[in-house]
Amino acid sequence: MLQQLQIMASWVPSFKSALEAEQPNAPFISFQLATVDAQGFPHSRTCVFRGFLFDDHKTNILTFTTDLRLEKIEQLRYNDRFEAVFYLPSSSLQFRFQGRAKVLSKTHHPVVKLPTHLHIDDEDISTHNSSNSDDDNEDKGSGNDEPGLSFNIKPSVPVQRSESPCPESFFNTPIVYPLVSRQVLTNLTSHSVDKTQSFANLHELPLRLIAPTTDEWNAEFTRHWSSLSRSLRSSFRKPCPGSALDSEKRSLLDKIARGVDGIKESEGQARFGVVCLFVEKVDYVKLGYSGDSRWIIAKEEGQDLWKEEEVCP
Using one digit for the tens of pLDDT, what is the confidence trace for 4-55? 567 889 999 999 999 999 988 788 999 999 999 999 999 999 999 999 999 9
The pTM score is: 0.80
For residues 186 and 166, what is the distance between their CA atoms, to the nearest angstrom? 34
The answer to whether the beta carbons of residues 278 and 178 sit under 8 Å apart is no
Q: Residues 6 or more apart from 13 whose CB is under 8 A from it?
A: none
Mean of pLDDT over the chain: 80
What's the mean pLDDT in 66-75? 95
Nearest to 31 by CA among 19, 47, 51, 20: 47
Quick one: CATH architecture of 2-241+253-311? Roll (2.30)
What's the mean pLDDT in 277-292? 91
Q: How many CB atoms lie within 10 A of CB 178?
A: 22
Q: How many CB atoms lie within 10 A of CB 45?
A: 13
| DSSP H or E segment with residue 187 | helix 182-190
| Band (121; pLDDT cuts 50, 70, 90) | very low
The string of DSSP letters for 207-233 reads S---PPPHHHHHHHHHHHHHHS-HHHH
pLDDT at 98 over 70: yes
- Nearest 10 degrees: Cα torsion 146, 121, 99, 303: 70
| Band (164; pLDDT cuts 50, 70, 90) | very low
The answer to whether the beta carbons of residues 209 and 184 sit under 8 Å apart is yes
Domain map (residue ranges) of the chain: 2-241+253-311
Q: How many CB atoms lie within 10 A of CB 208?
A: 19
| Band (2; pLDDT cuts 50, 70, 90) | low
The answer to whether the beta carbons of residues 152 and 137 sit under 8 Å apart is yes
Using one digit for the tens of pLDDT, what is the confidence trace for 145-161? 333 333 333 333 333 33
For residues 102 and 278, what is the distance between their CA atoms, to the nearest angstrom? 8
